């Protein structure tokens, strides 16, 4: 079934709740300890590259055992903001419990368990690694660790997610795209902040440096002169060292800059407020000054030309993908079983 579609019957069994979770999160094992009447409600929203699920439900457990991992479903991290009740994440031989106002993260690439012992309410963000610029080997240092704090980035992000839970259905597509970019940026900064605290871990220090460089690059995407050499000079490192810290995460500085620019162009092409702005000018706004070069790069990335992309009204996550995706902003799927 296609969870949350208003033209489909509402799910009325725990089995249908299990299927709803699998459709939106991939092949998972969804269980509960007893056969009591189950109440659940899920609200889905797409915020650009960030998929959100606002979940209110009775106690149950969601797990990905090692036998259920799948390469096509391994591109995401999940950040859980607990609004009521509690949630415990177990991954990479660690376990961490989060209560109201606290966040915890896990990586979909490896086995995990997410357990709610009693009725709960939680905002779950599903974010592609590419949107964060953080490779799985880096996020492995942060899985099953509470990311909340009364200071720093967490103190800014947590209230934002709580407010988002109340108002995400009010966002139009263009605003949702921009909010998603902002949230992904804040989460990247949050990860960087926590990695910097691991000062005795050289790999964590390099990852924190990489995130700082990436944040700096995002700020200068409109500058056509932005390139690996300019980035290296800004951070007082050699181009060779810059390439090394990117390569450790399976990236390159040049491809990162290109992909970030193309993602911004895709967002602008999807924005109805910019429908009259020529395609070539949108590329130029993000540092891609050659119209033919921009068109070629865009087609290589998204499978269609910028003109076709705008005409089809597609989002980056939909192009070239056949796996089930989240529904548009504000779709709700209530359940009582």
pLDDT in tens, 268-277: 898 888 889 9
What is the percent of the chain with per-residue pLDDT over 90, rounded to a whole number?
35
CA 221 to centroid of chain Cα atoms: 20
- For residue 235, tell me if it sits in a domain: no
Q: What CA–CA distances, in Å, run from 317 to 73, 141, 277?
A: 13, 27, 23
56 in the Ramachandran plot: left (φ > 0), alpha (ψ -120 to 50) or beta? beta
Residue 1 has pLDDT above 50, yes or no: no
> For residue 290, what pLDDT is reported?
95
- Give the C-alpha separation, 307 to 269, whole Å: 8
> For residue 257, what pLDDT is reported?
94
Mean pLDDT of 44-69: 86
Instruction: Identify any residues that bridge with 52 across adjacent strands, giving them in sequence order.
Output: 45, 125
Number of helices (H) and strands (E) in the chain: give both, helices first: 12, 11
- For residue 5, tell me if it sits in a domain: no
> For residue 304, what pLDDT is reported?
94
Same domain, 117 and 262: no
Same domain, 165 and 23: yes
CATH of residue 56? 2.60.120.10
Tokens of 32: 């509960």
> For residue 90, what pLDDT is reported?
94
- Give the C-alpha separation, 102 to 55, whole Å: 15
- For residue 232, tell me if it sits in a domain: no
Same domain, 53 and 148: yes
Cα torsion 211, 215, 220, 226 to 10°: value is 0
Same domain, 24 and 164: yes
- For residue 178, tell me if it sits in a domain: no
> For residue 118, what pLDDT is reported?
93
* pLDDT one-digit tens code per residue, 84-121: 999 999 998 899 999 998 899 998 888 999 999 999 99
Same domain, 29 and 146: yes
- Does residue 74 or residue 150 have the better pLDDT? 150
Tokens of 11: 């799910």
Q: What CA–CA distances, in Å, run from 221 to 128, 130, 138, 281?
A: 20, 16, 24, 14
Domain containing 157 equals 14-169
- For residue 143, tell me if it sits in a domain: yes
* pLDDT one-digit tens code per residue, 273-301: 888 999 999 999 999 999 999 999 999 99
Same domain, 154 and 288: no
Same domain, 143 and 267: no
Residue 333 has pLDDT above 70, yes or no: no
- Give the C-alpha separation, 69 to 85, whole Å: 28
- Does residue 203 or residue 243 have the better pLDDT? 243
Give the pLDDT band (50/70/90) at residue 142: confident
Q: Which of 220, 122, 106 is nearest to 165 (CA)?
A: 122
- SS3 of residue 81 by DSSP: strand
Q: Which of 333, 336, 330, 268 is nearest to 47 (CA)?
A: 330
* pLDDT one-digit tens code per residue, 311-324: 887 544 443 333 33
- SS3 of residue 76 by DSSP: strand
CA 278 to centroid of chain Cα atoms: 29
- For residue 67, tell me if it sits in a domain: yes
What is the percent of the chain with per-residue pLDDT over 70, rounded to a whole number?
83
For the chain, how many structural domains are there in total? 2
- For residue 309, tell me if it sits in a domain: yes
Between 97-106, 125-134, 257-266, the lowest mean confidence (pLDDT) is in: 125-134
Q: Which of 130, 40, 16, 48 is nearest to 328 (CA)?
A: 48
Enclosing H/E stretch for 45: strand 39-47
- For residue 321, tell me if it sits in a domain: no
Enclosing H/E stretch for 335: strand 331-336
DSSP code per residue over 85-130: S-EEEEETTEEEEE-TT-EEEEETTS-EEEEESS-EEEEEEEEEHH
Q: Among residues 152, 169, 186, which one ends one of the domains? A: 169
Mean pLDDT of 75-89: 92
Mean pLDDT of 192-218: 77
Give the pLDDT band (50/70/90) at residue 68: low
Residue 15 has pLDDT above 70, yes or no: yes
Mean pLDDT of 30-44: 85
Give the pLDDT band (50/70/90) at residue 170: confident
> For residue 200, what pLDDT is reported?
61
């Amino acid at each position: 079934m296609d969870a949350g579609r208003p033209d489909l019957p509402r799910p009325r069994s725990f089995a249908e709740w299990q299927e709803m979770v699998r459709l939106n999160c991939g092949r998972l094992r969804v269980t509960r300890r007893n056969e009591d009447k189950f109440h659940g409600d899920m609200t889905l929203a797409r915020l650009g590259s960030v998929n959100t699920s606002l979940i209110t439900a009775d106690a149950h457990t969601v797990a990905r055992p090692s036998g259920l991992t799948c390469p096509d479903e391994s591109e995401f991290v999940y950040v859980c903001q607990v609004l009521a009740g509690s949630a415990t994440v177990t991954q990479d031989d660690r376990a961490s419990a989060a209560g109201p106002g606290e966040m915890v993260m896990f990586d979909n690439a490896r086995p995990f368990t997410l357990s709610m012992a009693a009725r709960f309410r939680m905002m779950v963000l599903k974010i592609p690694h590419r949107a964060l610029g953080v490779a799985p080997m880096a996020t492995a240092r942060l899985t099953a660790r509470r990311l909340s704090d009364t200071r720093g980035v967490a103190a800014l992000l947590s209230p934002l997610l709580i407010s988002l839970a109340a108002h995400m259905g009010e966002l139009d597509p263009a605003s949702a795209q921009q909010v998603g970019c902002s949230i992904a940026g804040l989460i990247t900064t949050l990860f960087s902040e926590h990695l910097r605290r691991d000062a005795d871990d050289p790999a964590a220090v390099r990852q924190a440096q990489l995130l700082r460089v990436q944040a700096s690059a995002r700020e200068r995407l409109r500058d056509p002169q932005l390139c690996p050499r300019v980035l290296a000079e800004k951070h007082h490192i050699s181009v060779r060292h810059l390439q090394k810290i990117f390569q450790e995460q399976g990236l390159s500085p040049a491809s990162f800059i290109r992909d970030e620019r193309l993602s911004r162009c895709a967002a602008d092409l999807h924005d109805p407020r910019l429908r009259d702005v020529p395609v070539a000018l949108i590329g130029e706004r993000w540092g891609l000054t050659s119209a033919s070069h921009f068109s070629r790069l865009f087609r290589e990335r998204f499978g269609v030309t910028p003109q076709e992309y705008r005409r089809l009204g597609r989002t980056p996550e939909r192009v070239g993908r056949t796996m089930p995706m989240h529904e548009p902003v504000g779709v709700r799927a209530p359940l009582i079983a």
